[in-house]
Amino acid sequence: MERRTLQGIRVLDVTLVYAGPFCGLLLADLGAEVIKIERPGGEVGRFLPPLHKVEIGGPQRENRSGYFMSFNRNKLGLTLNLKHPKGIQIFKELVKISDVVLENYAPGVMKNLGIDYRVLKDVNPKIIMASISGFGQKGPNSQKVSFDIVAQAMGGLMSLTGYPQGPPTKTGTSLGDCVASLYAALGIVASLYHREATGRGQYIDVSQQESIASILEAAVVRYTMEGKVLTRIGSNNPNASPYGCFQCKDGYFIVGVVGEEQWERFCQALGVEEWRQDPRYRTNVDRLDHVFEIQKEIESWAKDYTVEEIIQKLERHRIPCSRIQDITELVHDPHLKERRFFVEVEHPIIGKVILPGFPYKFSETPQAEPKPSPGLGEHNGFILTRYLGKSAEELKSLYAEGVL
């Protein structure tokens, strides 16, 4: 069997909901052994919809959430009461034999529990610890309660999202959680490389606000260079025009025109050569100054054509364009099927479920085989007996004391 990229790396995933669990999923898909550590009652993500209605007993009783499964497949499940001294002791024993600790509690929680990086690096000098929080571990806002929508608001993204007449709008997915998880995964992989060279672990502090601010494209530099504060312009792009979503006879289509050469071909495709001579649209800067006027012109032209008719015209002239796929169309997209993007997981309660898979392909190393999310504490016995040498009697006692 071919070796996976992060095979042999053990991650203690002490995270919940999305920011953090997604990072753990990325590492698990790369072949790391990720141990999902939750309080004995289960983390809140287990109770978010969609929820399968079948009720059963045992460790699978709280494993009915499609939301939880989306971010926790390919992980082992361990329940551990980190407010109990024996729970902390077990956690430290696991840190000794692990490579990474990943957490997304509020800043200060891990310190109050007695398992912050200052303590854990004494337990294992090679340990890498990554913390994801709304505003980072230090700074005036570090103790501010945060969720994804707060990060999108404070990171500047919501000020750019929506239409001028409407309110600021969050994106259709929790981008603050997602991007922070991606940066945390990148930081962990970079730190593993650094450890290989130096023998030392390190601490990674990931801020959701900073993660969002880092992907604002040219919005920051437009302000710092020109003093211009970008505002909401719907689906249009502040750097190129026409570039956005346009209504036609039977729906909406997407166009992305960048540069004068593409603009000329766009006009040719639509048969509107007069637009090229219009002084309002002569250059990209001109078109940006009249972004809503050009949108009205395009939609006036498009009202007599269907989405497919317009796509055919534009693609003949090599103009970036598309229809807008809903989730049904996305899941059944033949292109994604050919690339095997979606993975099918056989869940012990829910049955066969299709989930998003790996968005990149390696030529030499395979991704992990998709496995379902763990039941609550499903691997308690496996982890504690195999890795820490606990006996059956000790396990029974730990359950009785509320440690597991």
If you average pLDDT over residues 173-186, what whole number do you get?
97
* pLDDT at residue 366 is higher than 90: no
Tens digit of each residue's pLDDT (9 = 90 or more) over 202-238: 999 999 999 999 999 999 999 999 999 999 999 999 9
Residue 247: strand, helix, or coil: strand
Please tell me the distance from the alpha carbon of residue 251 to that of residue 308, in angstroms, as a whole number: 10
Please check whether residues 170 and 281 belong to one and the same domain.
no
Strands 243-248 and 203-207: unpaired
Which of 40-49, 56-65, 73-82 is predicted with the least confidence, judged by mean pLDDT? Answer: 56-65
CATH of residue 304: 3.30.1540.10
Q: Is residue 343 part of a domain?
A: yes
User: 299, 324, 349: which is the final residue of a domain?
Assistant: 324
* pLDDT at residue 173 is higher than 60: yes
For the chain, the domain total comes to 2
Please check whether residues 308 and 356 belong to one and the same domain.
no
Please check whether residues 16 and 86 belong to one and the same domain.
yes
Please check whether residues 97 and 210 belong to one and the same domain.
yes
**Angle at Cα 308 formed by Cα 306 and Cα 309, nearest 5°?**
65
Tens digit of each residue's pLDDT (9 = 90 or more) over 297-308: 999 999 999 999
Q: What is the pLDDT of the chain when averaged over all its residues?
A: 95
Q: Is residue 332 part of a domain?
A: no
* Amino acid 272: pLDDT: 95
Tokens of 366: 């395979």
Please tell me the distance from the alpha carbon of residue 62 to that of residue 34, in angstroms, as a whole number: 19
Please check whether residues 199 and 67 belong to one and the same domain.
yes
Q: Could you give the dihedral angle defined by the CA atoms of residues 292, 297, 301 and 307, in that order, rounded to the nearest 10 degrees? A: -20
Domain holding 275, by residue range, is 243-324
Q: Could you give the dihedral angle defined by the CA atoms of residues 23, 28, 30 and 31, in that order, rounded to the nearest 10 degrees? A: 150
* Amino acid 265: pLDDT: 96
Per annotation, catalytic residue among 177, 205, 278, 304: 177
Q: Establish how many alpha carbons lie within 13 A of residue 155's alpha carbon, considering only the half-sphere containing its beta carbon.
A: 32
CATH of residue 130: 3.40.50.10540
Please check whether residues 320 and 349 belong to one and the same domain.
no
If you average pLDDT over residues 251-271, what whole number do you get?
96
Tens digit of each residue's pLDDT (9 = 90 or more) over 70-106: 999 999 999 999 999 999 999 999 999 999 999 999 9
pLDDT band of residue 404 (cuts 50, 70, 90) is very high
If you average pLDDT over residues 192-210, what whole number do you get?
97
Q: Is residue 236 part of a domain?
A: no
Please check whether residues 189 and 88 belong to one and the same domain.
yes
Please check whether residues 66 and 134 belong to one and the same domain.
yes
User: 269, 297, 324: which is the final residue of a domain?
Assistant: 324
177 is catalytic: yes
pLDDT band of residue 1 (cuts 50, 70, 90) is low
Residues 6+ apart with CB under 8 A from 188: 11, 23, 27, 100, 102, 128, 130, 204
* Amino acid 119: pLDDT: 98
Please tell me the distance from the alpha carbon of residue 38 to that of residue 44, in angstroms, as a whole number: 10
* Amino acid 54: pLDDT: 75
Q: Is residue 354 part of a domain?
A: yes
